[in-house]
Amino acid sequence: MSSYYDEHECPDRTPEQETNNLYLSLARMLHDLGFDAVDAALNGHSGERRPPASKHFIENLPKVNDFGKDDKCCVCLKEFTVDQTVRVGCGHRYHRLCITEWLRLNNSCPVCRTEFPTDDEEYERNKREKMRRETTLQELHNSMFS
């Protein structure tokens, strides 16, 4: 895989010229040190992407018809319609089609980032372990300062 500099035909620069572009200098330094993950993350290829929401969760979103005349979907910004509006676990409402497309790519609410269940067992196991560690740390903190 060629580097960003090769792809964009960036010319080599003298040290004097390099000081004129500190960002390019920093990027080259990181690249030379082997921080290819920086480039991958900036281009949307991070390995830490959250999995999609579970199919069961998406298929069972409850319909809601309790919305005001001027209430709008946060995704498409169009007014809600009867029998086409659903509520996700955090309480935010969306058009079924809008949120379904989102949840097929992400397991979180687009507004508040509340996470929803996934079909990825390893991700769910890691999430439970992280919550267990945070609870243990909180209990330890409380026992020390109470």
Pick the more confident residue, 133 or 49. 133
Fold of 51-146: Herpes Virus-1 (3.30.40)
**How sure is the predictor about 142, in pLDDT bands with cuts at 50, 70 and 90?**
confident
Q: How far apart are CA 7 and CA 2, in angstroms?
A: 7
| Mean pLDDT of all residues in 91-98 | 93
Structure tokens that stand for 116 in this block: 């929803």
Across 16-29, average pLDDT: 65
Q: Exposure of 9 by Cβ count < 10 A (0-12 exposed, 13-18 middle, 19+ buried)?
A: exposed
If you average pLDDT over residues 89-110, what whole number do you get? 93
Among candidate residues 92, 97, 67, the one with its CA nearest the CA of residue 79: 67
Residue 33's pLDDT is 66
Name the nearest CA neighbour of 105 among 59, 53, 60, 55: 53
User: Is the model's pTM score more than 0.75?
Assistant: no
Residue type, 64: V
Please report where in the chains the tokens 């379904």 appear, as a residue. Answer: 100
pLDDT > 90? residue 67: no
Domain residue spans of the chain: 4-42, 51-146
pLDDT at 4 over 50: yes
Question: According to the model, what pLDDT value does residue 44 have?
Answer: 47
Nearest to 84 by CA among 98, 71, 74, 70: 98
d(CA 95, CA 80): 7
Residue 16 has a pLDDT of: 66
Residue 45 above 50 pLDDT?
Answer: no
